């Protein structure tokens, strides 16, 4: 029986824990003048870590989640599945005092869905791809649409071959 292997994207952007923490703090610096925010809604699962860092840096104590399944096997799914919605108290509050946080905006499908639920809220991501970039108010780093970001929680410590394909 032949072993099947998952085809990985050609352009990979691995992000270490140190780099991700620095990028999240940079996001918080950019958001500091945009508030004050009374609540953060993070898009899970990717938005959990940046939301915790941003909440700490900005002194926000109320954090809620919206859980949307949008990826599988290194690709975005056709249909989005809202597994857990935003708390109605936050959704009906002052949108100018609500901050939406996610790790990445890719095609914008998830961002559009959340924007529709929380119109007027400030939307921030650590990373942005060109198709989704217009949907966010604040981000730190833009990467090409065909790049796959490997977040620290996706990585183990192992040898990484050079981009040119050789070892030496």
Is residue 106 among the annotated active site residues?
Answer: yes
Q: Spot the catalytic one: 64, 94, 103, 137.
A: 103
- From CA 103, how far away is CA 11, in angstroms rounded? 18
Choose the catalytic residue: 102, 137, 146, 154.
102
Contacts 24+ apart (CB under 8 A), 85-89: 85/117, 86/41, 86/117, 86/118
Cis peptide before 168 (omega within 30 of 0): no
Choosing from 23, 64, 73, 106, the catalytic residue is 106
Q: Nearest CA to 45 among 14, 70, 21?
A: 70
Residues labelled as active-site residues: 102-103, 106
């Amino acid at each position: 029986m032949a072993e099947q292997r998952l085809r990985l994207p050609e352009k990979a952007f691995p992000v270490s824990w140190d780099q991700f923490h620095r990028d999240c703090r940079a996001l918080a610096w950019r958001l500091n003048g945009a508030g004050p925010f009374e609540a953060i809604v993070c898009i899970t699962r990717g938005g959990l870590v940046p939301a915790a860092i941003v909440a700490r840096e900005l002194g926000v104590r109320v954090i809620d989640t919206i859980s949307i399944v949008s990826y599988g096997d290194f690709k975005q799914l056709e249909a989005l599945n809202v597994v857990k919605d935003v708390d109605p108290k936050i959704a009906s509050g002052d949108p100018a005092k609500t901050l939406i946080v996610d790790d990445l905006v890719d095609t914008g499908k998830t961002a559009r869905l959340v924007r529709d639920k929380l119109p007027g809220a400030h939307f921030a991501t650590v990373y942005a791809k060109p198709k989704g970039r217009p949907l966010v108010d604040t981000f730190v780093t833009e990467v090409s649409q065909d790049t796959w970001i490997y977040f620290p929680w996706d990585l183990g410590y192992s040898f990484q071959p050079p981009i040119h394909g050789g070892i030496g």
